[in-house]
Copies of this chain bind each other. A is one copy, B any other.
């Protein structure tokens, strides 16, 4: 276990002289430094590259815990002659400062743990940069590519920090179900689930139940959102959230869509207005992002560089804006000529138009108070204007819409009489009956957030196992 920690701490040490470090960081780094240069270490890792000079062999090795590499210096002899890229070694020695100021391990002893065979059919050349489409073809080997490994560490860190943040705020994480009988938004783009075994289906058959539904006695789908389930839990537990897979059976090749993706959704109780919800989202996203940067800026910058994206996230520094739907529409109509897509009052905004609004405001924008007919049945209607619901979209640079949210209709009678209420959602109406309260919340595509952070263009490269039309590898 220890070797993973060590690689990270050695990388941290390399930043010891950076002027921006706080005193606290400096002290910690000094202690790490003394620890590192005064001890003998056993480091294990994959050889990323080899250089042979007259007396010495120089190996760049990596253990998967960081995008940095550590140089290992060995005497050149018949034994070390065989070391090649891809092999796994264990090296014992002392860390020293190289003439270029970097740290390197002078190894007294090297153990060869396994052979790399990187020439023999290995699809990635260590010195070449491969196109993401090509890398994706070899999904099972993809974590060995540096920018993918860095992206997966950033994903881990961002997820961990979201859990930390929500827990600190007193939210209870609810595991909303993957298998469900409701399809939330009613868009119909659902995956159906049933046992593969025809024998089991037959064995479980009941009168009046079609045989393909005999496992659950009804049609069952994969979840498109955990929102309605969160609401049910919030009526007993207060604030709740989830960060879980969601599924859409769409035939979309878009770089922003997947058949299986992750949704971060939260439900807040006693929520008085959309402004409170917007404030929560802005503070949460800024805080989470700053913590990701604090914890792992090196990997994030590595991803940004690989994606040819800027390392600046200017939206962290500015206050975010709020526009009503009507104001946003007016702005778009006034600039209609600059869009390829038509501006219509009926269909929401195109991505191009969303990015225009963000750019116009020079900040992320919450668009609030949407036309009722554009939004789902569960959103709370404005008591002053039934043509509007208390809904919110958050528009961000690069990705466009990142979050959607609303106050939920708290009035059982209004909800019951909504023409789009699915008939199987009696339970949802009944939630309001016994000690109902005003809740509201939002959903955020977690992969889109990662794309926003790292500038990675295709959503398929920020998730370990992308699933999309005609592709479900492994």
Binding site for B on A (CB under 8 A): 1, 3-5, 8, 44, 46-47, 63-65, 86-88, 113-118, 120-122, 139-145, 148-149, 152-153, 155-156, 159-160, 163, 167, 169-170, 172-182, 188-197, 200, 203-204, 206, 215-222, 228-229, 232-239, 244-245, 247, 249, 251, 259-260, 262, 268-270, 280, 410, 427-428, 430-431, 433-437, 463-465, 467, 469-474
Contact indicator B180/A190 (Cβ below 8 Å): no
Question: Which B residues lie within 8 Å of A189 (CB)?
Answer: 195, 197, 200
Shortest CB distance A205–B (Å):
11
Looking at the complex, which one of B144, B175, B270, B474 makes contact with A435 (CB distance below 8 Å)?
B144
B122 and A200 contact, CB distance less than 8 A: no
A176 to B140, CA, bound (A): 12
Indicate which residue in B156, B175, B200, B465 contacts A229 across the interface (CB closer than 8 Å): B465
CB distance from A181 to the nearest CB of B (A): 6
Q: Report the minimal beta-carbon distance from A261 to chain B, rounded to whole angstroms.
A: 10
Which B residues touch A262, using CB under 8 A?
175
In the assembly, what is the distance between CA of A148 and CA of B235, in Å? 13
Taking a contact as CB atoms closer than 8 A, the residue among B1, B118, B159, B180 that contacts A173 in the complex is: B159
Q: Which residues of B contact A114 (CB under 8 A)?
A: 410, 435-437
Most chain B CB within a 10 A radius of its CB, from A63, A175, A268, A280? A175
Residue of B with least CB distance to A209: B470
Residues of B within 8 A of A197 (CB): 188-189, 249
Interchain CB contact (< 8 A) of A178 among B8, B182, B245: B245
Write the chain B residue with the least CB distance to A142.
Answer: B236
Q: Are B220 and A118 in contact (CB under 8 A)?
A: no
Chain B residues near A144 (CB, 8 Å)? 235-236, 434-435
Query: B residues within 8 A CB of A251?
Result: 200, 203-204, 215
Closest Cβ–Cβ distance, residue A355 to chain B (whole Å): 28
- Chain B residues near A270: list those with CB within 8 A: 3, 44, 113
- A188 to B280 alpha-carbon distance, docked (Å): 46
Docked pose: A26 CA to B439 CA in angstroms: 36
Complex alpha-carbon distance, A222 and B260, angstroms: 12
Q: Given that A88-B437, A191-B196, A229-B465 are known contacts, is A236 also in contact with B204, CB under 8 Å in the complex?
A: no
Task: Select one of B156, B200, B467 contacting A172, CB under 8 A.
Answer: B156
Give the distance in Å from the alpha carbon of A251 to the alpha carbon of B217 in the complex.
13
Check B204–A196 contact: CB distance below 8 A: no
A145: B residues at CB distance < 8 A: 236
Chain B residues closer than 8 Å to A237, beta-carbon distance: 64-65, 143, 149, 152-153
Known A170-B4, A431-B140, A435-B86; judge A474-B245 contact (CB<8 A).
no
Expressed in whole angstroms, the Cα–Cα distance for A470 and B200 within the complex equals 13
- B435:A238 contact, CB within 8 angstroms: no
A-B contact pairs, 14 of them (CB 8 A): A64-B269, A117-B434, A118-B434, A118-B435, A121-B433, A122-B434, A141-B434, A148-B236, A152-B233, A179-B247, A181-B474, A191-B195, A229-B474, A245-B245
The residues of B that contact A203 with a CB separation of less than 8 Å are: 251
Which residue of chain B lies nearest to A436 when distances are taken between CB atoms in the complex? B114
Tell which of A86, A179, A189, A437 has the most Cβ of chain B within 10 Å.
A179
**Bound form: Cα–Cα A152–B237 in Å:** 9
Set of chain B residues within 8 Å of A249, measured between Cβ atoms: 195-197, 200, 215
Hey, which chain B residues are within 8 Å of A238, CB to CB? 4, 63-65
Residue among A173, A219, A244 with the highest chain B CB neighbour number at 10 A:
A173
How far does the Cβ of A150 sit from chain B's closest Cβ, in whole Å? Answer: 10
Name which residue of chain B comes closest to A167, CB basis.
B160
Q: Which residues of B contact A64 (CB under 8 A)?
A: 172, 234, 236-238, 269
Q: How far is the CB of A39 from chain B (nearest CB, A)?
A: 19
| A220-B117 CB under 8 A given contacts A144-B434, A188-B196 | no
B236 and A149 contacting across the interface, CB-CB below 8 Å = yes
For the complex, give the distance between the alpha carbons of A155 and B319 in Å.
37
Q: Please pick, from B1, B139, B435, the residue contacting A239 in the complex, using a CB distance under 8 A.
A: B1
- B160 and A87: CB pair below 8 A? no
When distances are taken between beta carbons in the complex, the residues of chain B under 8 Å from A463 are 175
In the complex, how many angstroms separate the beta carbon of A212 from the nearest chain B beta carbon?
10
Q: A140-B232, A160-B163, A233-B152 are in contact. Are A117 and B4 (CB under 8 A)?
A: no
Instruction: Tell me how far the C-beta of A192 lies from the nearest C-beta in chain B, rounded to whole angstroms.
Output: 4
A467 interface neighbour in B177, B228, B239, Cβ under 8 Å: B177
